[in-house]
Structure 1
Amino acid sequence: MSHQESIDSHISRRAQTAAEESAKNMMWDIMNDTWNPTISPNGYVNVGVAENGLMHDELLKFINTNLELPARFLTYNDGGGGSNRLKIAMSKFLNKHFNPIIPLHQSHLVITNGVSPAIEHVSWVFADPGEGILLGRPYYGTFIPDISQRPGTTVVPVSFGECDPFSLEAVNKYEEALKYFQRSTGNRVKGLMLCHPHNPLGRCYSRPVLIALMRLCQKYQMHLISDEIYALSIWENTVDESPAPVKFESVLSINLDGIIDPQLVHVLWGMSKDFGANGIRLGAIISQANRDLHEALKGVSLYSYTSGIADYLTSLLLEDVDFTEVYVKENQKRLSEAYAFTAEFLKSNGIEYAPGGNAAFFLWVNLGRRYKELRPEISRNDEIGEVVMQRLLEYKVFLASGGLFGSENDGWFRIVFSHPRDYLEEALGRIVSALQN
């Protein structure tokens, strides 16, 4: 679009920018053309979107057996921050699974229609336009628009080079990025966004590293925002690999005394990942000590008002202790099996991946290296990620490319393995064919 066309447009410049970015995103087109061996054999095999289809039958059986909607859930009920019933049910559920030092109370929660609105809310509350929020690379790509597109907050990417992003040494990289941003822009960094367990690396931060990050936030009076949307999607890694996986411990389970002001610590969680239900569209902001946050969000909760049906359904789920216990354990077992199958397949086909995972749905894989190994004529220094992406699309398989995740190295992709075995086998077969042929 030319400058003159931009001026003459009937929409705002920020809307134009959003439209231009949307035009580059082919994900929705691919999701409307998904492979099915009988109905749509020529469709895309989609292992690029973080969805968990391993437990859909069990969840649907529960929903279709138990959902009888009371009339009050067709009204505004208890307001935009979620019903009291839901907040009580979620507090009890998370108290059981997150082991918080201070038990959660319904007053600590703000319910939103998904975790993306929750991320946008905390960005809007904590930072003025132009101020920064730190985000380690590689990162969940949608963090960028969630944090910045409407709030106007600047994402400050943190690069680690050869440093393990889950190590104590990596904390220094966050501080270096903070100092550089503040020195070069004159604006403050107001928060540090953590994805714990991590997307796309599938690893957890150790307690010592979490505490070190808290101390950094206290030093610079930044908010620590821990997105724990994959907290219950943890599983046993049965593959022989190093580094050894680190068990998940919620930020809420750490005693903050002498470490950080509790007003600076916040956790996000939702139903999309741990319950394999992206379509329910329900998330939560958990902030135990920051009343200003809660007061501010009362004024904007209308824009993230979750559906009464989703609110009621989630209450039913979380109140059923027997069902959720069985569900969570079986989900973890199936994720473990799917990871092991995918990791062994990659190894047997000479494809490098980042090891040490024990959480979430994905493997971080170096398809660029394997593509070059199969083609000796290609220079080792040539960037090949975009070429590989086009090859994958030719074979009608969709992965998320490393460029979307701020990858520091070319040629990396994220494979989502939380699919039924036949679907996963089809995807992996197409990936190998795209690389080899």
Structure 2
Amino acid sequence: MALSLRAEKLAAPGPNFLLTEVLPNLYDGAANPGGWVNLGVAENSLMHEALLAHLHAHLRVPGAALTYGDGCKRLRRAAARFLTRQLRPVTPVEAAHVLVSNGCTPAIENLAWAVANPGDGILIGRPYYGAFPADVSRRTGVDLIPLSFGARDPMGLEAVDEHEAAILAAKQRGQRIAALILAHPHNPLGRCYPRAVLVAYMRLCQRHQVHLICDEIYALSVFESRVDAAADAAAQPVPFESVLAIDPAGIVDPALVHVLWGMSKDFGANGLRLGFTVSQHSAAMRAALQGVFEFTWTSSLSDLVAAAILEDDAWVEAYIRENQRRLAEHHAKVVAWAREHAVEHAPGANAGFFVWVNLGAVYRRHHPDEEVADIDAVVMASLLEHRIFLADGVRFGAEQPGWFRIIFTLEAAYLEMGLQRIVAAIKGTSLQLPYETNGVKE
């Protein structure tokens, strides 16, 4: 039977195909020693025990949790109060400002659908979170346009100029630019945008009547960087400040500003599948998104779990502090490893779960006589041979080849094993991995 044209485009294995092999076959020292070490998926397991303890102690499931629910009334109130406390917005977030979806992936897609027509463009700077292209474009027909910055700081004022040049170029060719997306804190660079740069983007959006979509899913996963003190001054760590905390008066029509946040990163709860879209000043946007809410409906059980977490102020404050302490500790481990093995890494990081590293350059250094046409493919092949999974810069829009993202929010011994496997992969040495698992050749 023939598929639709759009379905045929997706029928071939895509970049997520490998995950279907990796995630069901993860390393376990006792049960699956030949499994994959996964340092590629942005999950934070550092605080799972604390979160589970809270859930077990406080979760009571009423019969209503087995129904369609009440439109997330309790959760929206809890989220509005929580985000007001944590993001310190100029205007307090109200429950009516918050739309709930089953993750931030559909939230991004819904915003793209709401602000842009098929063929319109949305701008994104490189490197970018690898799922943005699919989130924005796969089902909407919207064109996600990546911007290159060369030697310029992708999080500096010159990057704002590149965005304006792209808007003007699009007008010249007859394409409407509907929005631009900022990942703030940035994924994969692990940095926060300076206030002056955020203001410059807001002014840019006002000049050209372009929506600003600010993805703040790592807003509370910030930490005091213990490294890079001698790094380039242009890449020094910048404290996080939500775009909602900047008074828009005289800068931008606040109806153009929309913020995303979710439970998956700051609370290490990817499996809850909960995302929040905050659009404080656009009733039309909220009405449009509410009109398609049934396509991204959340589980009543997830709503209940999240509300119980967000309403517990004292526990949340302690949780955030301890999570940030552990993030700093594990980030320092990976940077120390990178320095020990002379692996170039992006400096100035103080947020997120990742370190952005240039493994291609290290591979070439260890294989000076090897002719390599596609360093990304060669390094990835070696990583996979050593049963270590990382996200590669090709999918993340890296401007230079050889860059990969290492996730550090994992138990220390597991992380150390992953780093050892990376070294073996780039050096081309064997770890004598056990590929016999339960009698089956993997």
Q: 1:333 aligns with which of 306, 322, 325?
A: 325
User: Cα offset for 1:115?
Assistant: 0.4
Q: 2:334 aligns with which of 342, 359, 365?
A: 342
Task: Give ranges in structure 2 of 5+ residues lacking alignment.
Answer: 429-442
Q: 1:170 aligns with which of 159, 164, 167?
A: 159
Q: Distance in 1 between matches of 2:167 and 2:127?
A: 17
Q: 1:87 aligns with which of 76, 101, 112?
A: 76
Say if 1:156 and 1:181, in contact at 8 Å, map to a contact too. Answer: no
Shifted more, 17-26 versus 296-305: the winner is 17-26
* Equivalent residue letter for 1:217: C
Say if 1:118 and 1:284, in contact at 8 Å, map to a contact too. Answer: yes
* Equivalent residue letter for 2:427: Q
Structure 1 consecutive aligned stretches of length 4 or more whose deviation exceeds 3 Å? 21-24
User: Cα offset for 1:24?
Assistant: 6.2
* Equivalent residue letter for 1:109: V
* Equivalent residue letter for 1:124: W
Say if 2:15 and 2:395, in contact at 8 Å, map to a contact too. Answer: no
Structure 2 partner of 1:4: none
Say if 2:40 and 2:405, in contact at 8 Å, map to a contact too. Answer: yes
Structure 2 partner of 1:236: 224
Structure 2 partner of 1:126: 115
Q: Which SS does the other structure have where 2:395 is aligned?
A: helix
Q: Distance in 1 between matches of 2:54 and 2:332?
A: 28
Q: Distance in 2 between matches of 1:32 and 1:131?
A: 38
Q: 1:151 aligns with which of 108, 133, 140?
A: 140
Q: Distance in 2 between matches of 1:401 and 1:189?
A: 28
Structure 1 partner of 2:346: 354
Structure 2 partner of 1:434: 425
Q: Distance in 2 between matches of 1:275 and 1:183?
A: 44
Structure 2 partner of 1:399: 390
User: Cα offset for 1:21?
Assistant: 4.5
TM-score under structure 2 normalisation? 0.94
Structure 1 partner of 2:67: 75
Structure 2 partner of 1:160: 149
Q: Distance in 2 between matches of 1:298 and 1:100?
A: 23
TM-score under structure 1 normalisation? 0.95
Structure 1 partner of 2:245: 253
Q: 2:94 aligns with which of 93, 102, 105?
A: 105
Q: Distance in 1 between matches of 2:128 and 2:398?
A: 8
Structure 2 partner of 1:136: 125
Shifted more, 134-143 versus 172-181: the winner is 172-181
User: Cα offset for 1:28?
Assistant: 2.1
Q: Does 1:208 align with 2:199?
A: no
Paired-residue identity, %: 47
Task: Give ranges in structure 1 of 5+ residues lacking alignment.
Answer: 1-8
Q: Which SS does the other structure have where 2:170 is aligned?
A: helix
Structure 2 partner of 1:307: 299
Q: 1:192 aligns with which of 167, 176, 180?
A: 180
Aligned length: 424
* Equivalent residue letter for 1:43: G
Q: 2:10 aligns with which of 15, 18, 21?
A: 18
Say if 1:118 and 1:285, in contact at 8 Å, map to a contact too. Answer: yes
* Equivalent residue letter for 1:385: D
User: Cα offset for 1:162?
Assistant: 0.4
Q: Does 1:225 align with 2:213?
A: yes
Q: Distance in 2 between matches of 1:182 and 1:351?
A: 42
Q: Distance in 2 between matches of 1:33 and 1:77?
A: 35
Say if 1:205 and 1:246, in contact at 8 Å, map to a contact too. Answer: yes
